[in-house]
């Protein structure tokens, strides 16, 4: 576990800059809604490319036009700066 976990204070601070993201056990979560499945899946394709580039991968759930994204760092057993970076990149 080479990647350090964020402290509670660091997480609270990071979430101020990430509207829509909520803290869940060991990670952060956001739900996205799209016009239809094609738009949801196009979003997932873009996120997949970001994730692969960052070597950091989401846990996610899709049904029709909804995508729930959960970010956690398995190597850290909790939330790390890598999750905040990926959340920021996804929202951009
Ligand atoms: C070997 C590889 O770098 C690691 O397994 C990476 C890949 N993607 C990952 N994604 C996430 N979400 N957490 C990790 O700890 C993680 N580790």
From first to last of its 92 residues, the chain has per-residue pLDDT tens of 589 999 999 999 999 999 999 999 999 999 999 999 999 999 999 999 999 999 999 999 999 999 999 999 999 999 999 999 999 999 99
Q: Is 5 in the pocket of ligand 1 (CB under 6 A)?
A: no
Q: ipTM value, please give it.
A: 0.91
Q: How far is the CA of 70 from the centre of ligand 1 (A)?
A: 14
Structure tokens at 53: 């580039």
* Atom number in ligand 1 closest to CA 75: 15
CATH topology of domain 8-91: Gyrase A; domain 2 (3.30.1360)
Structure tokens at 52: 């692969």
pLDDT of residue 1: 57
Q: Is 52 in the pocket of ligand 1 (CB under 6 A)?
A: no
DSSP the chain: --SPPPPHHHHHHHHHTSTT-EEETTEEEEEEE-SSHHHHHHHHHHHHHHHHHHT---EEEEETTEEEEEE-BTTTTB--HHHHHHHHHHH-
Predicted TM-score (pTM) of this structure: 0.94
CA 67 to CA 10: how far, in whole Å? 26
pLDDT of residue 2: 80
pLDDT of residue 13: 96
Q: In what order do the strands lie in the sheet with 66-71?
A: 22-24, 27-33, 66-71, 59-63
């Amino acid at each position: 576990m080479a990647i350090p976990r964020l402290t509670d204070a660091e997480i609270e601070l990071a979430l101020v800059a990430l509207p829509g993201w909520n803290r869940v056990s060991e990670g952060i979560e956001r739900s996205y809604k799209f016009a239809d499945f094609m738009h949801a899946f196009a979003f997932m394709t873009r996120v997949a490319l970001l994730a692969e580039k960052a070597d950091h991968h989401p846990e996610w759930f899709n049904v029709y036009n909804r995508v729930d994204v959960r970010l956690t760092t398995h190597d850290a057993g909790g939330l790390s700066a890598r999750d905040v970076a990926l959340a920021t990149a996804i929202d951009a």
